[in-house]
Amino acid sequence: MNSNANAATWERLRESLFARAGEPAPEPGQRSTEFRPVEGGEETLSGQTLLVEAYAALWVVLFGYVLFSWRRQSRINARIDELEKALSRSGPK
Amino acid sequence: MGSSSRKVEDALFYALFASTTLIILVDIHWIFYYAPIERTMGIVQKIFYFHVPSAYCMYLGAGACFLGSVAYFVSPTDGRDAFAKAGAETAVVFGIIMLITGPLWGAKAWGRYWTWDPRLTTSLLSVLIYVAYVVLRNFAGDGDAEKRFAAALGVLGAANLPIIHYSVQKWAGQHPVVIGKGGGGLAPGMYPPFFIALGAFTLLTVLLVWWRTRTEISRARLKHLEDDALAVLPD
């Protein structure tokens, strides 16, 4: 089953690679020299996608900053704990 | 600060946090369900409702940095330094949001993400100034000289803010002028979500500056305590 699927994949790859191998190369004059948009075609940038990206960016930046600040706060708390332990060790028994 | 006043401050902070969250949720609902879709740009114009408040909050953060820096020069205290630092960080956060959302809107409205328009260029410059401030404060140590240098940057950085504001009036460019002098205004249905967004972002800025100022004051107090403890502890 698996070897059949591999053979089929290999066959498709071989066809796509060598199907036009015997054809002559295009003349230099036939090459594309400019890119033009399709007349009346759909726009490639969706306003909805851009809006969602902008909202996502807003929340990623805000949450990233809150997370960063939270970690700083945690480090300060850890240092306070260490200081308390050091003081209690050196205090009166 | 006493224990009771700290409890009052904590209660105020959490009340402000809850109010800000509620207002943001109301505003998102209003923007997407009630605010009209703009005629020529379509739905992407709704980026406006948080792009402009972000720019405004960058000004607020920069203003806090300016005030904290000036106050630090007058009389250096940990609280004033912390306020300036918190303001600069908030300016960077909202400046980054502004610089991401603006080009995404521009991609649709202008057909390009970026143009060296006077307002865009001066805004980028301002964000870079506050990024420099934050980098300086995080990597150059906590000495008095570093704090004074940062305070000078905080004062000088504010000089660019009026230039950003008046750049659209003084020089030609692509950045729209809709609200204020020379602008044609918004459709009536666009004002409520816009003003709610301004209010929500203002509260968010106050929250962030407050939180970071408190954290930085705690850090400074802890450092003094550690220095004192090192002097008295046996090892």
CA distance A73 to chain B (A): 6
Structure ipTM? 0.84
Residue B192: the pLDDT is: 92
Any bridge partners for residue A47, and if so which?
Answer: none
Residue range A16-68, pLDDT digits in tens: 777 666 666 666 666 666 666 566 655 667 888 899 999 999 999 999 999 99
pTM over 0.90: no
- Higher confidence at residue A27 or residue A89? A89
Question: A46, A55, A72, A85: which to substitute to probe chain B, counting the most B Cβ within 10 Å?
Answer: A55
Residue A38: the pLDDT is: 60
The segments of chain B whose pLDDT lies below 70 read 1-2, 180-184, 233-235
Residues of chain A neighbouring B225 (CB-CB closer than 8 A): 83
Residue range B34-65, pLDDT digits in tens: 888 888 888 888 999 999 999 999 999 999 99
pLDDT at A14 over 60: yes
